Amino acid sequence: MKPGSQGSSDPALVVENLFFKYRDRPDYALRDITFELEAGQIMLVAGTSGCGKTTLIRCINGLIPRSYKGELEGRVVLHGEETDDKPLAAISQIVGTVLQDPERQILGSRVVNEVAFGLENLGLPPAEITARVDETLDYLGINHLRRRETFYLSGGEKQKVALAGILAMQPSILLLDEPLASLDPASAQEALRLIRQLADEGRAILIVEHRVEDILKIRPEKALFLMDGQVHYLGPTAGLERVVDYREVKLPAPMIIEKARRLCLGAEVLGCTGEISSAPLLPCSLAPLHKLVEFQEVSFAYEDGPLVLHDVNVTINRGDIIAILGPNGAGKTTLVKHAIGLLKPKEGRVLVEGVDTHELSVAEIARTLGYVFQSPSHMLFAPTVREELAFGPKNLGYDQATIDQGVAEAVSILNLSGLEEYSPLALSFGQQKRVSIAAIMSMRSKILVMDEPTAGQDYKNYMAFMDSILQLPNFEAILFITHDIDLAVCYANRVILVYEGCIVADGPPQEVLARYDLLERCHIVPTSLLAANLERLPQTGRFMRAELLAHAA
């Protein structure tokens, strides 16, 4: 599927001396950014949440200054032509952007309408629109979704449909903002192969991604590392590992182990003594076994469709830290939505602290289970972060002192200090994700349930808030749906594998994740950290993060 021809020997993209400061922010989001990207090249853009990655994308695709206002200096040049005087519609035919949150990009009610949407706005003839839609759906292998309602797609399916809508317009430059965030590991590998193929066909691709280990597999020609809106590294990807702090950017486990051994970077955890810390435990984990939520023979289908859950029997106990793994569309989110009362079983029943969810309102269940949606846009609506965090506990009837204390704790743990008076929807996706988690934390529910908590998060932030959450006395259990198998390796004391609506495994991570045949069946790709842990398990007796492994062998 070839990109539209631009007929120019100039670099596909030139960014020169770029500065930008948002109108409502005191500091510059970008400072003196300069680089070039040729047709057929992939550039990886890495950096912590809020460092300017998404702002850079907005400058390239023309949303800055047309939709986002502020002080802009410098130049963006596409195939030798500056973008200053180009209308947004003209830029969109050259630059295609896939957002990290597909919910904010999909407008069509059905997949076929969504893929055709941009083409219709370009005023193309109906026959050409139909041909391009068919070609794109076939190219991405999602023709089976063409008549599906977009509302009922999984997060990974929505990501593919969003990409289809962009590719149908045949842009020569692609900007991908966290394209792997909603994808299961097998789908992510498929997407990466596609990204490499699109570049090899002649597109220039700029990809913002925290999952650096995955991106390195497709050999990006260049890497750009941003810190506080400035270029900290620009050059071949081979040099990236030398300049980044692995605690801020997730690198392959062997790299981290080597750096930790050489530089003794595990000292803050181990004191370089080789003493291994205990397995992840909640403060209540040593309490007697107590059932918080029970699924009893639960089956469910949406409307008149096929069953999405089949005879599910699961118990969530006090002290559990559960990672729910499985491919896109396996039923993971549907399972969790039954626990919080958003969905009711067609067969069987769900008990929350002994009471059938059919007899409880969602508000009543919220005192026991707090749910963080996969997409922050489903949760955030208040004028400021502070009001967002206070909304839930206020509606649960907490007194003002308790509300203020809960908000302050959540702000501190989720690294939101200084953002309390900002509008949540004006923040980066990663910051919005942390606000949505903080909003549930401030409600003081007994069970924290998070759907893809690390999506859009840099390594430093998500490790810090997971470390802090596990120390909080008010949570009796934690569940997280994730495609990040390393999150399960580092934090879970129990792993549940979901496949085609069934629970196919439920047990300690060391047992479940050692079954590579089962992982393959569930489209879960083992990581370098999992492999390193399994190799050392006879000596360590447990799973741990890479920097600890450096001192445990």
Q: Is the dihedral of CA 76, 423, 97, 52 positive or negative?
A: positive
Lowest mean pLDDT, pick from 24-28, 133-137, 205-209: 24-28
Distance CA 422, CA 419 (A): 5
Is it the case that residue 210 has pLDDT exceeding 90?
A: no
Structure tokens at 284: 């209540």
**Mean pLDDT for all residues in the chain:** 88
pLDDT of res. 350: 97
Q: Which CATH number fits domain 280-368+446-537: 3.40.50.300, 3.40.50.20, 3.40.50.880, 3.60.21.10?
A: 3.40.50.300
On whether the 13-248 domain is CATH 3.40.50.300, my answer is: yes
Which of 123-127, 203-207, 452-456 tops mean pLDDT? Answer: 203-207
What is the mean predicted confidence (pLDDT) over 377-402? 90
Q: Cα dist. 37→34, 75, 95, 208, 423 in Å?
A: 11, 14, 13, 14, 34
pLDDT at residue 156 above 80? no
Closest by alpha carbon to 503, among 335, 272, 258, 273? 335
Entry field: residues in the chain: 553
> Please, where are the H alpha helices in 178-225?
185-200, 212-215
Contact 72, 252 (CB under 8 A): no
| 3-state SS record for 124-167 | CCHHHHHHHHHHHHHHHCCHHHCCCEHHHCCHHHHHHHHHHHHH
Is pLDDT above 60 for 233?
yes
Q: How confident is the model at residue 275 (pLDDT cuts 50, 70, 90)?
A: very low
pLDDT band at 5 (very low <50, low <70, confident <90, very high): low
Tokens read off for 531: 């492999």
For residues 209 and 239, is the Cβ–Cβ distance under 8 A? no
**Which position has the higher pLDDT, 81 or 103?**
81
Rounded percentage of the chain residues whose pLDDT exceeds 70 = 94
Predicted local confidence at residue 158, as pLDDT: 85
Indicate if the pLDDT at residue 276 is higher than 70: no
- Neighbouring-strand partners of residue 174: 96, 205
Interval 514-529: pLDDT, tens:
999 999 999 898 999 9
Where along the chain do the CATH 3.40.50.300 domains lie? 13-248, 280-368+446-537
For 403-434, the pLDDT digits (tens) are 999 999 999 888 899 999 999 988 877 788 88
Query: How many Å apart are CA 478 and CA 475, to the nearest integer?
Result: 7
Provide φ and ψ at 226, rounded to 5°: -105, 140
Task: Tell me: cis bond preceding 509? Omega within 30 of 0 counts.
Answer: no
Cα–Cα distance between 427 and 431 in angstroms, integer? 6
